[in-house]
A and B are shown apart, each in its own frame.
Chain A
Amino acid sequence: MNRKIRVLIAKPGLDGHDRGAKVIARALRDAGMEVIYTGLRQTPEMIANAALQEDVDAVGLSILSGAHMTLVPRVLELLNANGQGEVCVFVGGIIPEEDARALEILGVKAVYGPGTPTTQVITELTQLVETA
């Protein structure tokens, strides 16, 4: 069986800084994953719908707008409502420490700030998906 890890990389909200999302998308591809890249300004509804149609193992959300405490819980809520509560959600961007803890309590599996080595993301994500 040749199962590949499928990951959706999305940028919810209104900020247009997508370099981080692109770096992660490329790094995960180079690590052998199939990465579905959706581009900018996605609503939580669009993200959850794409995650469902693509049957992904993980969803990576890149947010630099500061709206993470609104956007991320909504994505988690929709994934749960769609029967995809087991999907591993991780967040990248400028996320204050206390917000990161709060998001983790809500169900986010990992929060990555600027400067995180891509190798760390790859290793942790692979572990999270394989143990899910």
Chain B
Amino acid sequence: MNIAESVLQGDRLALARLLTGLENDQPQGRDALDALFPHTGKAHIIGVTGPSGSGKSSLVNRLALHLAETGGEQPAPRVAVLAVDPSSPFSGGALLGDRVRMRDLMERPEIFIRSMASRGALGGLARAAGELVLALEAAGFDIILVETVGAGQSEVDIARLAHTTLVVEAPGLGDDIQAAKAGILEIADILVVNKADKNGAESAAHTLAAMLEIGAELKPASALLENTWKAPVCLTSALNREGIAALSETIAAHRAWLRESGVWEQRAQARLEDLFNRLLRERLLAEWQRSQPQANLTDALQALHKRESSPYNLIERLFS
């Protein structure tokens, strides 16, 4: 049986190995994903982002558990978690520690957790995060929670990958002007103020809600469709298991809105185009570099080092 067939039949080791192959950009990984592609596109992708220490992993732990248990009439949804942590810029190694906070999930082997190192990507995810999500979709997971690295003000790639983006904040992290300048708030479909057990959570929630209000009023008319969803603020305490049910209802409401408004499809298309464009860029660069005589590039770089040519000038020459 080949990798794709094994993955479709629920072989978790085959899936885990496929994820490694995709991360390392191996040909077998690409071939398998090629075969699996028709089986993708059904899962609800939920992004979880926010600053270091706001409690993303603990929240994912509680949320995944809750989501996996609330099937209602239907069979319980199958839940996967993709957790990204930063790579060291010096050694290239990484300490992936999100599992420490996901103890409850580790007692539930049917919930699939994969840790991923960012490997130099700066947008809060890793280069191949999109491919790993596709593979998890094909493996039959209904809900995929994607946790970013600790994100501050501009790590917003997750908004392009997820259907629903949760931005997790905690009390005591900054004032309303910091909230106003941070791009990360703009990507929130749902804003979560976690650590509601701590002082100042209520007032942080009010401040952030007010900022979201101003943002919504200033949105251009072209964003009309997106505008019909007003990002709500949810208070949670992952520690005390409070607010998790309400958050998961809000996520369900967002999913329903995505479906009704057509934004689900828009986001799915944008995600696929992003992936296509990235793969195309990488391919073009690799092919072009291969097509150039090595001496051309070496000469060009030497001219650059000696400041005989500007980078603009060099590129013009290389393409003329």
Contacts and interface: CB of A to CB of B under 8 A. Distances in A.
Contacts of A29: 88, 91, 93-95
B27 to A, nearest CB: 9
A42 interface: yes
B100 A1 contact: no
Contacts of B95: 25-26, 29, 35, 37
Interface stretch (A49-57, A60-68, A90-98, A112-120): A49-57
Interface string B9-52: 00011001101100011100000000000000000000000000
Interface string A1-12: 111101000000
Contacts of B66: none
- Main SS of chain A's interface residues? mixed
Given A37-B99, A55-B17, A82-B13, A31 B93 contact: yes
- Main SS of chain B's interface residues? mixed
Contact of A55 (B20, B97, B103, B106): B20
Interface in B35-74: none
A122 to B, nearest CB: 10
A34 B100 CA distance: 15
A33 B117 CA distance: 10
A84 to B, nearest CB: 7
Interface in A21-46: 25-26, 28-39, 42, 45-46
A36 B99 contact: yes
A49 B112 CA distance: 9
B255 interface: no
A33 B93 contact: yes
Interface of A: 1-4, 6, 25-26, 28-39, 42, 45-46, 49-50, 52-55, 82-84
The 7 nearest A-B residue pairs measured at CB? A39-B100, A55-B16, A29-B93, A32-B93, A29-B95, A49-B109, A55-B20
30 contacts: A1-B25, A3-B24, A26-B95, A29-B94, A30-B90, A30-B91, A31-B93, A32-B91, A32-B92, A32-B93, A34-B94, A35-B93, A35-B95, A36-B115, A37-B100, A38-B100, A39-B97, A39-B99, A46-B106, A49-B106, A49-B109, A50-B99, A50-B106, A52-B13, A53-B12, A53-B113, A54-B113, A54-B115, A55-B16, A55-B19
